[in-house]
Structure 1
Amino acid sequence: MENFNFKSSTKIIFGKDKFKDVGKYIKPYSSKILLHYEGDLIKKLGIYDDVIKSLKENKIEFVDLAGVVPNPKLSLVKNGIKKCIDNNINFILAIGGGSVIDSSKAISLGVPYDGDVWDFFSGKNEPIASLKVGVILTIPGAGSEMSESSIITREEDLTKAVCDTEFNIPEFAILDPQICYSIPKKLMCCGIVDILSHLMERYFSPTEHTKLSDSLIEASMRTIINLGSKYLKNPNDYNICAEIMWSATVAHNGMIACGRVADWSSHRIEHEISALYDLNHGAGMAIIFPAWLKYVKKLNPKKIETFSKNVFNCTDGIEALETFFKSLDLVITLKEFNITEDKFEFMAKKALGNRETMGNYVKLNEKDIINILNIAMGGTK
């Protein structure tokens, strides 16, 4: 087992209509906030009006910043930083899924910083302060509501980068499973893939003597696969949605991975695809993770054999994983998204950054990444 630090300071407020009391959770922190969200969806669902009512009841002023899109953009983050500074704001409420939460975190890092917030995503500098962030989660999957991560895309060169810091951990997160009823089924299914991919990235590790976390991750993977099948039959079942929502949070809050080195190669490869083609992250992971497994199985089969046996109770867990993704009505090849090979070398170089290799379960070089992308084109072994 590896040495580790673990911090979990987010207060989880879970249950029906809890978001309607958001004002009382913000009040101890601030009387003026930035209200950050995607667009019209929360207004159509009535969430926006309920939030505004609660803010007014608690005498909290707010400044709106809508417009977050999947693969959140640096330009909007900079707009948010300016709004916070101009309006003397010291708290951000994120209403949305991973993209909104990540954008809010990036804004919170940029406000107290004299330089360019991108410095934290490029590795040029490290944060030493941030604004406080609260969350009303609307789309489960990314797990950003309790994590230390923020992922942002810089439009000028389509670079997608992550900043991991404890300053990103939200103060509170409100989770109401009823919100899932109004989410398009496709988005929920992409979220389920995202949950599973967070678990798999941690599971495929070179670290030994991790029996507890191995068992926790295997159980979590079996659970989310079972929940995915149940969700398709009963998308408005409160308890199914509740378990999916909580699974997403637990999968990415760090606790389940303590003492082990995670891989993250599949995520880095997918980030380049979604940056270039604006693909939903979960949809991209449904393509890349099986392709990665097929490739590394030739180089290090041990954990994949255990994965097959303990998660799917079969001899070919990769095929079972693809079958599960297909059952969610997701595609498993890049070709089905009309993505061609001409950008593979570019994506491989971008995924590596300044490194010669990436990954931990198997070290991958540029040629390895291109090979994985070629497998992802047609799904062949």
Structure 2
Amino acid sequence: MENFNFYSPTEFVFGKGMEAQCGKCVKKYGGTKVLIHYGSGSVVRSGLLDRVKKSLEEENIAYVELGGVQPNPRDTKIYEGIELCRKEKVDFILSVGGGSCIDSSKAIALGVPYDGDFWDFYGTGKPVEKALPIGTVLTIAAAGSEGSGASVVTKEEGMLKRDTGSDLLRPRFSVLNPELTCTLPAYQTACGATDIMAHVFERYFTNTKEVEITDRLCEGILLTMIKETPRVIADPDNYEARANIMWAGTVAHNDIVGVGRSQDWNSHAIEHELSGLYDCAHGAGLAVVMPSWMEFVYKHDVMRFAQMAVRVFGCQMNFAEPEVTAMEGIKAFRRFLHSIGMPINFEELGAKEEDIPVLVKKLGIKDKTWGFQPLSSADAGEILKIAAHAKVEE
């Protein structure tokens, strides 16, 4: 295990009806004027936005609103939010929605006190030195942004999807009420589940040795998702299954399962170009990319993939030919994704094989990536070719 620092200061307020605590939480963390940032009209139709406003009003906290966040959140809405916050002298941002809304809120939070273009921080490694505090009311279990310092947004010019990260962007608090996810369509629920599993796999496939504790934590989350996702698809109102998935989404990405070990993130980088170009759901893109990445790299450490196959998917270990076990695990993962309604190839996703050179070029790999197995541009192209023709195998 490698040396590490782990910092996760977010306060999680979990359970039924806990959105009523928003006003108290904002006050606790010093907010006096709030930007309520949200996505579509679902938070309005459900009455959630009104409940959040009421909680702020009960604590005499002023607020302004900015709705309209899209999936794969756009820079145009972020610029609008930055301007509004400066004009209204907002000192706290409250995101009411899923990962896209939270990521947009984080971009606004770092952009308000910055003299330049907020985009300077995305895809560049430029350190964030100052940001407004944010809180979240989560409505989708998926991205884990409610407990992480990461933000992924899209620049409309060129449809570039890029990320940044800083502990300054970790929410001060996050309200997690599993009831708020019960009305999600099955497809959106499955996309979220896929994203959660991908966040774990990006950490699980590591070159660091002797990381048994975080291996077991990773495997526990993956087993939970395999159990609970079909349950909520069959019964959307299953609160206990929703609760397990919601908390899994948070611990999958606040890095508790990633400390002390090298990580990968190449599947996410490749997928960002898919959802950037086609505006598909991030989880759906990951369902196509991640098993294909696994097929391409598994020989780099066959025994780690065999371990995943045995511990997570219940495959039998073939000690004479561990490669067979490793591939059985990859096939089982793809079968699971297909069983919950996820696409597993380009045709099902709505992508085009002829666009692979464009996708690879947008990745911008200069030499090789870092990660579990560093990838060249040619490697990324081969992974996308596997993804284009992937199929479910027994």
- Alignment TM-score, normalising by the size of structure 2: 0.94
Q: CA deviation at 1:342?
A: 2.3
Q: CA deviation at 1:368?
A: 0.7
For residues 185-230 of structure 1, give each alpha carbon's deviation from its aligned partner in whole angstroms, at most 9, with x where no partner exists: 2111110001000000000011112111111111211111111122
Q: CA deviation at 1:54?
A: 1.4
The CA distance in 1 between the partners of 2:195 and 2:26, in whole Å, is 29
Secondary structure class of the residue paired with 1:103 = helix
Contact kept? 1:300, 1:362, Cα under 8 Å: no
Instruction: Supply the AA of the counterpart residue of 2:295.
Output: K
Q: CA deviation at 1:354?
A: 5.1
Equivalent residue runs for 1:186-205 within 5 Å: 186-205=187-206
Secondary structure class of the residue paired with 1:301 = helix
1:317 aligned onto 2:308: no
Structure 2 unaligned regions, length at least 5? 316-324
1:341 aligned onto 2:353: yes
Instruction: State the percentage of identical aligned residues.
Output: 40
Contact kept? 2:295, 2:330, Cα under 8 Å: yes
1:364 aligned onto 2:375: yes
The CA distance in 1 between the partners of 2:279 and 2:336, in whole Å, is 24
Secondary structure class of the residue paired with 1:145 = coil
Instruction: Supply the AA of the counterpart residue of 1:5.
Output: N
Which residue is 1:241 aligned to?
A: 242
Which residue is 2:390 aligned to?
A: 379
Which residue is 1:8 aligned to?
A: 8
Secondary structure class of the residue paired with 2:174 = strand
The CA distance in 2 between the partners of 1:52 and 1:211, in whole Å, is 45
Q: Which moved more, 1:59-68 or 1:296-305?
A: 296-305
Instruction: Supply the AA of the counterpart residue of 1:140.
Output: A
Taking a change above 3 Å as real, the CA distance of residues 344 and 74 of structure 1, as seen in their structure-2 partners, is same
Q: 1:329 aligns with which of 341, 350, 366?
A: 341
Compute the RMSD of aligned alpha carbons: 1.3
The CA distance in 2 between the partners of 1:82 and 1:293, in whole Å, is 43
Structure 1 unaligned regions, length at least 5? none
The CA distance in 1 between the partners of 2:195 and 2:349, in whole Å, is 18
The CA distance in 2 between the partners of 1:333 and 1:296, in whole Å, is 18
Which residue is 2:98 aligned to?
A: 97
Q: CA deviation at 1:300?
A: 3.5
Contact kept? 1:213, 1:256, Cα under 8 Å: yes
Q: CA deviation at 1:330?
A: 1.3
Contact kept? 2:189, 2:233, Cα under 8 Å: no
Q: Which moved more, 1:44-53 or 1:274-283?
A: 44-53
- Alignment TM-score, normalising by the size of structure 1: 0.97
Contact kept? 1:45, 1:182, Cα under 8 Å: no
The CA distance in 1 between the partners of 2:196 and 2:86, in whole Å, is 35
Q: CA deviation at 1:124?
A: 6.5
